[in-house]
Amino acid sequence: MYIDIITAVPELLKSPFDHSIIKRANEKGLLNISIIQLRNYGLGAHKQIDDYQFGGGAGMVMMCEPLDTCITDLKKLRAYDQIIYMTPDGVTFNQKMANRLSCFQNLIIICGHYKGIDHRIRNMHVTMEISVGDFVLSGGELAAAIVVDAIGRLIPGVLNDETSALTDSFQDNLLAPPVYTRPSDYKGYKVPEILLSGNDRLIDEWRFEESVRITKERRPDLMEE
């Protein structure tokens, strides 16, 4: 999979992709992430990428031309399945969306900054708009990192045990059951006996029942779905 991320602040994305699972996915050649500095497409001597809003108001807007030129250049390299814009007014990101996006081959993610991007770019190029929650960040970079991490771990071969992702929270609209490791007794807090039984069928039943219980308690809305 190729994910090309357009940003005005590439430094914000360096650390999330230089460690852990996403780094291993890149080293295996399963996930290729390119971070494109939008200022390389900026206008004039100062590489301008933003300007004042028409109609007045506080905050700058990312300009059409640098984004349009950048996206057009990327489209010459490969055909993209989705061109995603990270924005608070997008569709709220969830596990189902991560599952669907992980099946694609080529994605562009546009990170907004300032007051966002000129709306004409959304009309011209954007095919999908994603929000990571009902709040506002300083830019789309951290939101993009969340989306890439959620997608990347689902790509076959990225996790050492691919079945691990299938038991994560929100798969099948359930929260994950409690998990334990050694020691089995810590300061009087004991691991449920069923998990020490070695009976796979009973353990699976216990985990499912716990998932249902926790989901009903904490996220009953998922049960309704």
Q: What percent of the chain has pLDDT over 90?
A: 86
Q: What percent of the chain has pLDDT over 70?
A: 96
Task: Say whether 79 sits in a helix, a strand or coil.
Answer: coil
How many other CB atoms are there within 10 angstroms of residue 104's CB atom?
Answer: 14
For the chain, which residues make up each domain, given as ranges? Answer: 2-152, 167-224
**Is residue 91's pLDDT more than 90?**
yes
167-224: CATH class: mainly alpha
Beta bridge partners of 111: 86
**Is residue 160's pLDDT more than 90?**
no
Is the overall model pTM greater than 0.95, yes or no? no
Mean pLDDT of the chain: 94
Confidence band for 161, pLDDT divided at 50, 70 and 90: low
We find that the CATH architecture of domain 2-152 is 3-Layer(aba) Sandwich (3.40)
**Is residue 125's pLDDT more than 80?**
yes
Phi, psi of 165 (to 5 degrees): -65, -25
Q: Given the DSSP bridges, would you call strands 185-186 and 189-190 parallel, antiparallel or unpaired? A: antiparallel
2-152 and 167-224: same fold? no
